[in-house]
Structure 1
């Protein structure tokens, strides 16, 4: 089950219950917006799928990283399998303060990663403080003669404070001319040596760099982000290759129901026959025949022999009570099955009629049967139903009508018929016997025994 409620630890290691609202995936960052039981707004920050910290807020700074992430990134509304996966894979998440965050960044990330991650927090840490932190990192590299590393910090500063005079002067400094050309020309060295800038380019131009981006995420084992990239590509330009890659990731890292949920969301975006075929196989494997039947009603593709066999098996294993399928979808499904194997239809159609008679009027079921008559009109079960339909208003046939209703497990209708027959023919024992049998089938033992005694007494008087 996909749940949008979860718990993290606050700064004092106490449980904090949150309800996810929406999520953004944007250039190595994932930001989850959530609300507490006290209606306080939190933003949870992740880098490459790993939890960093969370911040409580009442408002966000305009043109902030968060605003950009939700406007330009891939966004998902709760509940959503991607959110669920992100939260459950970070089950020990704990809020840390800014000092602890800096220590964590220094210990576990490169200087460029640290600089980039710090820009996530401009709505919660003074922009001046963040700017000075990034500027100090730049000067440290430049003093150490690490010009390329220093220029990478400049690129991060350009996104963070593009109008700042300090940033403008550094960005055009001729000392960095070779690097400037490398970035402008998007040379191969850029994609090998500045992974943050490279990923910004690949993220914003997926059509051009899709395969390269997939390979990068695969190399770094960032399965959630890879799943989201494939998912978004399927929305833009669906293909069998992308679908197969996505399906493989979903099979390995998501539950069956999460996989189905994601594929269903995609199928609502635009029609794509291979996607519908894959969804059908998922439904059949999970024995979700109701969803399979609706999909077949809405889509136009041929069932394979294996699909037919699996559908037959699943339907035959279901009880009439479990057969809660929309009538039009059920009719369409049976037509496909019976056209291939009309001789195996009797038992299955009997089960379907039991289900439908319990929910709909006789006239509705009669109309529902019409298309099926062309395929299997000689079946015994159809002839029995037709007898019910013809006798339903005939008081002279209450007993045989009741027995037919009994055969179709329509207990209340059977009781009505046998009771009417008993009133019309009080000297006959047969209706009493059938009343006893019907009450017993309904689990009403006392009523069954009472009619059994009446039946025996009437038999003795005969």
Structure 2
């Protein structure tokens, strides 16, 4: 179901001396890294890599290569698609300045540890040649080895081996005798034991295999020390997959640091979580939406859970039905029919007729009579005495009868379908060229359409025909 309360996340990209406007169309979290995909006004695609929510690098890409970090992030990571309010906290700044590519790695050394820099380099394989990245990681490896930091050099060679599994030199170094005890440590120890020594390795392993319950628990503990966004997204992913809601109060507290309560309710709706069952404050929020005229946003929260709502929501449902724009109702026709079934007996028949008439007018603009009739069948069961539906049924019987085009045209005119009415009256005018009645009706239709010259022309023809009849 669409979530109309969400707005696209707009961003500006500063590249050298020009600024490019764009919208974030999706983002992916992959452990400590984030990837943002932006579609610009010129339909170009830019991709940006973040590490711990800080921009590392990004630029325009014509194609994302299979097996690259960006490809892996969108395939294996936690993905959020636009429009979604959590895209905003994923991009701390609404304006991005593309870093100087030539100075990038020297800048990374200032802000990150060398082990982190080695890993960050592997996330940039869409923007740098693979050999250049391998060279950077090799330099870090040999730096640690020369200084006798064998544990760190082993950790770096693991990063290189994971980045390029077919690289023979990396495999050979992984098997060096001086690394035996470190290799044995990683193979024999559990992840919690490795966590203090190599938190990056553990976080990556847990994230890649987060479907594993033990690794997921450890990952939650790791993420708890961060800003809460990744932990929240992990929780939402788990709930969407398993449809089991737990710790809602805790994650509501985290969410409300990032988004409004209205947005949080919509996020839950998108995850197929019933906010009216899980959030004690949800009814008050919906009532506030109604008071401020946000009927459609209220509807987007309510419609998926109509059958689970208590009777205390009946008045809210009635207001949503009466005040939502008819085009919006048509876009969610099945859900609104379910809503109508929930409404108590004794609804105002004239208001119901007025709403059904509005719906029919819009449906006739885009669909033929047969299709409109089919779409109204559920309403027919709910409103067996509806005059509007009776008219549609009648029109269906007239559509193949050339002798009753005037009658069909009158019905089309009732529903403000003036062009279709004109077609019917033209047919009748051709069959009875001396009859002034269809000509007069055509003139009226053009008046309703605001086509003054055409209306006057047919008014003149009508007057001539009328005069001829009187003389005859």
TM-score of the aligned structures, taking structure 2 as reference length: 0.64
Q: Is the 8 A contact 1:391 1:397 kept in 2?
A: yes
Match of 1:197 in 2: 201
Match of 2:155 in 1: 155
Secondary structure at the aligned position of 2:57 is classed as strand
Q: Is the 8 A contact 2:27 2:34 kept in 1?
A: yes
Secondary structure at the aligned position of 2:55 is classed as strand
Secondary structure at the aligned position of 1:377 is classed as coil
Q: Is the 8 A contact 1:20 1:34 kept in 2?
A: yes
Match of 2:336 in 1: 333
The CA distance in 1 between the partners of 2:63 and 2:380, in whole Å, is 65
The CA distance in 1 between the partners of 2:61 and 2:428, in whole Å, is 74
Secondary structure at the aligned position of 2:132 is classed as coil
Cα deviation for residue 350 of structure 1 reads: 1.6
Q: Is the 8 A contact 1:55 1:124 kept in 2?
A: no
Cα deviation for residue 302 of structure 1 reads: 4.6
Secondary structure at the aligned position of 1:51 is classed as strand
Which runs of no fewer than 5 residues in structure 2 stay unpaired? 1-6, 162-169, 279-284
The CA distance in 2 between the partners of 1:261 and 1:228, in whole Å, is 14
Of the three residues 174, 179, 182, the one matched with 1:171 is 179
Shift in alpha-carbon separation, 1:449–1:260, aligned structure 2, 3 A: farther
Shift in alpha-carbon separation, 1:396–1:8, aligned structure 2, 3 A: closer
Secondary structure at the aligned position of 1:52 is classed as strand
Shift in alpha-carbon separation, 1:164–1:247, aligned structure 2, 3 A: farther
Of the three residues 107, 113, 119, the one matched with 2:116 is 113
Cα deviation for residue 230 of structure 1 reads: 3.5
Cα deviation for residue 444 of structure 1 reads: 1.6
Of the three residues 133, 136, 139, the one matched with 2:140 is 133
Q: Is the 8 A contact 1:23 1:30 kept in 2?
A: yes
Cα deviation for residue 164 of structure 1 reads: 3.7
Q: How does 1:78-97 map to 2 (within 5 A)?
A: 89=93, 91-97=95-101
The CA distance in 2 between the partners of 1:213 and 1:300, in whole Å, is 36
Q: How many residues align?
A: 432
Shift in alpha-carbon separation, 1:28–1:90, aligned structure 2, 3 A: farther
The CA distance in 1 between the partners of 2:142 and 2:301, in whole Å, is 58
Of the three residues 432, 454, 460, the one matched with 1:447 is 454
TM-score of the aligned structures, taking structure 1 as reference length: 0.65
Q: How does 1:29-428 map to 2 (within 5 A)?
A: 29-30=33-34, 44-54=48-58, 66=69, 69=72, 73-74=76-77, 89=93, 91-97=95-101, 100-106=104-110, 108-118=111-121, 120=123, 123-125=130-132, 127=134, 130-137=137-144, 139-140=146-147, 142=149, 151-161=151-161, 163-165=171-173, 168-173=176-181, 180=185, 184-187=189-192, 190-191=194-195, 194-206=198-210, 207-221=213-227, 223=229, 225-226=230-231, 228-234=233-239, 236-241=241-246, 253=258, 274=274, 287=296, 302=308, 312-314=318-320, 316-317=322-323, 322=327, 325=330, 330=333, 333-334=336-337, 336-338=339-341, 340-341=343-344, 343-344=347-348, 345-390=352-397, 401-416=408-423, 424=432
Q: Is the 8 A contact 2:27 2:80 kept in 1?
A: yes
Cα deviation for residue 338 of structure 1 reads: 4.8
The CA distance in 1 between the partners of 2:188 and 2:354, in whole Å, is 70
Match of 2:167 in 1: none
Cα deviation for residue 443 of structure 1 reads: 1.5
The CA distance in 2 between the partners of 1:35 and 1:350, in whole Å, is 40
Deviations 1:208-267 (A, max 9, x none): 2435534543532262x4454345434543432388877877776579999999889x77
Shift in alpha-carbon separation, 1:397–1:246, aligned structure 2, 3 A: farther
Cα deviation for residue 376 of structure 1 reads: 1.7
Cα deviation for residue 337 of structure 1 reads: 0.6
The CA distance in 2 between the partners of 1:166 and 1:373, in whole Å, is 73
Cα deviation for residue 448 of structure 1 reads: 3.6
Match of 2:3 in 1: none
The CA distance in 1 between the partners of 2:330 and 2:367, in whole Å, is 13
Matched, 1:438 2:445: yes
Q: Is the 8 A contact 2:413 2:421 kept in 1?
A: yes
The CA distance in 2 between the partners of 1:96 and 1:238, in whole Å, is 45
Shift in alpha-carbon separation, 1:415–1:41, aligned structure 2, 3 A: closer
Q: Is the 8 A contact 1:4 1:84 kept in 2?
A: no
Cα deviation for residue 347 of structure 1 reads: 1.6
Shift in alpha-carbon separation, 1:380–1:226, aligned structure 2, 3 A: same
Q: Is the 8 A contact 1:9 1:93 kept in 2?
A: yes
Cα deviation for residue 203 of structure 1 reads: 1.6
Cα deviation for residue 171 of structure 1 reads: 3.0
Question: What is the root-mean-square deviation in Å for CA atoms of aligned residues?
Answer: 5.9
Deviations 1:114-133 (A, max 9, x none): 45435556825363553243
Q: Is the 8 A contact 1:273 1:301 kept in 2?
A: no
The CA distance in 2 between the partners of 1:99 and 1:374, in whole Å, is 70
Q: Is the 8 A contact 1:289 1:311 kept in 2?
A: no
